[in-house]
Amino acid sequence: MNTAQSHLQQPASPSIHDCVADVCTRIAPNWPLDKLIAVNPYWELKQDSFSDVAIRLAALAGVQSLMPKSFWIEAYQQGKISDNALQQAALIHDYQQGLPALKLTTESVAPASWKNLSGLVDQFRTEHQVSWHDEIIQQISQFCAAFYQSNAILERIEGENSQHCFYKSWRNNIIKDNGIGVLMGETKLAQSISTLPESPEALFEIAMAELEVQESIQEDYLYALLLDINGWAAYVAYRRWQNTSDDMMPLLAVRLAWELIIWRHLKHISSGVQTAVAEKWQQEQQSIGARFQEHHRHQKALWVWHTAHELTQQQQLQKQLRTTSDAPEPKPTLQAVFCIDVRSEIIRRALEQQDNGIETRGFAGFFGMPVAYAPTGTKLQRPQLPGLLAPQIDVSERTGNVTRLRPIKNQANWLRWSYSPTGSFSLVESAGWWYGFKLLKNMWFPGKQENPVSSLSHESQWQLSRDGETLSIQDCAELAKGILGALGIQNYAEQVLLVGHASCTTNNLHAAGLDCGACGGQSGEVNVRILTQLLNNEAVRVELKKLGITIPDTTHFVAALHNTTTDEISCFDDELSEQQRQWLRNATQIAQLERTADVDEKLAKLTPEKRQKAYRKRSYDWSQVRPEWGLAGNHSFIIAPRQRTKALNLKGKVFLHDYDWQNDSDYSVLELLITAPMVVTNWINMQYNASVTDNLKWGCGNKVLHNAVAGNIGVFEGNGGDLRIGLSMQSLHDGKRWMHTPQRLSVYIAAPQEAIEGIVNKHSHIKQLIDNDWLYLFSWQETKQIHRLYKGDWITQEEGH
């Protein structure tokens, strides 16, 4: 049922507490800065169709899930959308007005969106008065920042559990704070604040009654309120994801409390304004169904354009997949396993050009290591795996480096003091001159800045433990067996590079977002170092042989790291020959040259040596706001043997995971790929899409204006407002054009259709992603035929369609 239609039928309304519980499940998590990974902001809405969700979000909060018509008209004029695709898309979306009307360059104005009570009251304030809405968001946001910086202390003070502590702390805080009344020019505001209910549960009951909210729209109203503070709601969702606490209900209660405060205040000070607002409030509630219908009509043409672009891109890639020939498989002279990240595609092609015997493979960037890194001598534990998974094994250096650890601890203490309420003032007085010196130093002598925790991880000997017990050789062999089974290497070269990846940027609060998302927003160095140690261990190899896996005695695994900012590959031991090292250097030069088109066209005119120096300078430059483009432009994910894609230039826009179904008798590896890497790539793809279509709601604006919140929780754009999530404009736009075009991920799997369909039907959340139009899933057969799985049917993709 589409959202617009459902609002005309008005089914029986659930209780207010059921509404609250349902609404509180709709916010996707957002990871903090030091563990930043890409997240699909629509993730908790996947049970509904994308089109219905887009209508609801636009109607309730003005959220844009689609690009404006002008964007698509320009793309059409540039030949990026075909007439054939437009005709198909018009049929898909039942667009009745014809292609001439679709191609009119006139931009239609988006319908008005729902207004919360505070928004209606703002219509009666003068231009010289502070907006209620803006001040409410500012007050809640500042409270959240303070609360989550010291919530453990507050829980002890308040003597409450987390949920009640949040609301109680906020209520106590706002009752004692007279400043907001002065700021708003409302000196009698304290009277309305002081009578707030003492519990969030009571507040929902009282507010809905006093505000006269119709039962049929309570859920939509509450959802609109939560979307109003979506940034902090996303952080609360992250804490819930980690089982730390669940403050979503009290956060929603706080936002609703402000509606009640304003309503009561108006009754006390101005019956005339209150009557006018009450009339508008009733009109707003009665018009909500019409708003959904208006947004449905407005979005229909935009969906045609959006889908036509996706179809055009799919047709182009599918033509390549149909016509490419499988590459020969000579005896490998060197094997290199990279992350599936789209940034690996360019360097893999470049490396394969060096010699016919070079074989590269794509694999999940955490290399199957379900670990958390715990540096020796610290209490820190840093997950090194996808956010979807929980670590099962702790890893640490066999011998901690006290020399490196001491300055890091001192730095942490310094930062902790500087972030404290009192320290921040004395810091300016006592150390301002030192920071001035550092600014000058960074300006004239830029250098590499490394994550201080990562600087502890440059070790080759690691200890693995589970529940405090060191893993036995048998345990290590079992772990290695699972990883090698998923990796799928049948014929080992003498040298096998395990290539993790990391970025290299300076003065970048979102640096973790450029590192390996599969490693929890960290460098992949720890993972490849540990796996290399396991696979080179003779005792582990003996146990592996008992388990049916033989690694030749002549095979040596080498840990390496791909710097995605400069495309340099560093190896962590001296096992490679000079020729092999030259291959890596040549691959770097080729990749750097190819990327100049997006990074800086002037670099293409430089010699390879000067170009490499320029790339390094960009990575060290503390004023560089676009050190690299991350995963911008991503649009597809291919799960297939590399020889089937080796002849293709996929332009750094396609995720690649090696998989041979003939070596996967029970399809357990395929199931893992569909339920883990495919979901991760959906998260990445949808974060980029959403950050482009609505950077105000799903993105984090101008990174030049960012200020860190409580150290690592997130960022404010400027000095306040809601917590900002998603990607900055500088990660998406080069000042002239968008570097990412919103399009849903197209997944191509080289495996039997019955195996794919069986796995999809087994996992409801995967089926929802496919059937509710959050991604496209195709089978790519050995005959080169391509079929789309959609709502239980396999649809043949005809050439040119």
pLDDT of residue 450: 54
Beta bridge partners of 654: 636
CA-CA distance, 212 to 199, in Å (whole number)? 20
What pLDDT is recorded for position 303? 98
Q: Are 496 and 528 in contact (CB under 8 A)?
A: no
Task: Tell me how far apart the alpha carbons of residues 756 and 219 are, in angstroms, rounded to a whole number.
Answer: 37
pLDDT at 591: 98
Which residues have CB under 8 Å from 386's CB, separation 6+?
37, 364, 366, 517, 518, 520, 676, 680
DSSP 470: E
Helices (H), 694-734: 695-698
pLDDT of 9 reads 43
Residue 236: pLDDT over 80? yes
Ramachandran area for residue 499 (φ above 0: left; ψ -120 to 50: alpha; else beta) = beta
Angle 598-599-605 from CA coordinates, rounded to 5°: 100
Question: So what's the pLDDT on residue 414?
Answer: 47
What local confidence, expressed as pLDDT, does residue 180 receive? 87
Percent of residues, the chain, with pLDDT higher than 70: 89
Q: Is 283's pLDDT higher than 60?
A: yes
Across 88-113, average pLDDT: 90
Strands of the sheet containing 654-657, edge to edge, are 654-657, 636-639, 746-749, 776-780, 786-790, 793-796
The predicted pLDDT at position 151 comes to 65
Distance (Å, rounded) from C-alpha 566 to C-alpha 627? 9
Contact 31, 516 (CB under 8 A): no
Closest CA to 332 of 580, 82, 588, 630: 580
Burial class of residue 507 in the structure, from the number of CB atoms within 10 Å of its CB (0-12 exposed, 13-18 middle, 19+ buried): middle
Q: Quick: pLDDT tens for 719-763.
A: 899 999 999 999 999 999 999 999 999 999 999 999 999 999 999
Tell me the three state secondary structure of residue 315: helix
**Residue 606: is its pLDDT beyond 50?**
yes
pLDDT of the residue at 420: 44
Residue 355: other Cβ atoms inside 10 A: 15
Q: In this structure, what are the phi and psi dihedrals at residue 565, rounded to the nearest 5 degrees? A: -80, -35
Instruction: Give 324-383 pLDDT, tens digit per residue.
Output: 999 888 899 999 999 999 999 999 999 999 999 999 999 999 999 999 998 877 778 899
Six-digit token string for 454: 């990562």
Q: Which residues are annotated as a binding site?
A: 339, 341, 501, 516
Q: Is the pLDDT of residue 423 over 70?
A: no
Provide the sign of the torsion angle of the four alpha carbons 331, 337, 342, 346, taken in this order.
Answer: negative
| Pair 373, 395: CB distance under 8 Å | yes
In sequence order, the 6+-apart residues with CB closer than 8 A to the CB of 460 are: 529, 533, 559, 572, 573
Residues 89, 456: Cα–Cα separation, whole Å: 53
Per-residue pLDDT, 440? 56
Q: Are residues 3 and 55 in contact, defined by beta-carbon separation less than 8 angstroms?
A: yes
pLDDT in tens, 577-600: 999 999 999 999 999 999 999 999
Q: Tokens in use for 727? A: 């990607």
CA distances from 185 to 132, 173, 254, 430, 579 (A): 11, 19, 22, 38, 75
Q: Which residues of 279-302 are buried (b: 16+ CB within 10 A; e: fewer)?
A: ebbeebbeebbebbbbbbebbbbb
How remote is the C-alpha of 257 from its chain's centroid? 31
- Residue list, annotated binding site for Zn(2+): 339, 341, 501, 516
Which pLDDT band holds residue 682 (cuts at 50, 70, 90)?
very high
The pLDDT score that the predictor gives to residue 461 is 86
Distance in Å from the first CA to the final CA of the chain: 28
Mean per-residue pLDDT over the chain, rounded:
91
Query: Worst-scoring range by mean pLDDT, 186-200, 309-323, 733-747?
Result: 186-200
**Which among 669, 387, 702, 666 is positioned nearest to 518, based on CA atoms?**
387
Question: According to the model, what pLDDT value does residue 575 have?
Answer: 79
pLDDT in tens, 216-228: 999 999 999 999 9
Taking each continuous run of H as one helix and of E as one strand, the counts in the chain are 31, 19
CB-based contact 232:144 (threshold 8 Å): yes
Tokens for 641, please give them: 């043997």
What per-residue confidence (pLDDT) applies to 12? 44
Q: Tell me: pLDDT of 154 over 60.
A: no
**Burial (CB count within 10 angstroms: exposed 0-12, middle 13-18, buried 19+), residue 607:** exposed
Helix (H) or strand (E) holding 487: helix 473-487
Q: Residue-wise over 528-556: b if at least 16 C-beta within 10 A, else e?
A: bbbbbbbbbbeebbebbeeeeeebeeebb
- At residue 76, does pLDDT exceed 80? yes
Structure tokens at 77: 């004029």
Q: Are strands 393-397 and 462-466 parallel, antiparallel or unpaired?
A: antiparallel
The pLDDT tens digits for 687-731 are 999 999 999 999 999 999 999 998 899 999 998 999 999 999 999
Please list, in sequence order, all residues whose beta carbon lies within 8 angstroms of the beta carbon of residue 459, skipping any fewer than 6 positions away.
397, 398, 399, 401, 529
| pTM greater than 0.75 (yes/no) | yes
CA distance 121 to 195: 20
Q: Give 7 or 787, the one with higher predicted confidence.
A: 787
Coil, helix or strand at residue 78: coil
Listed residue (776, 790, 792, 774) closest to 50, CA to CA: 774
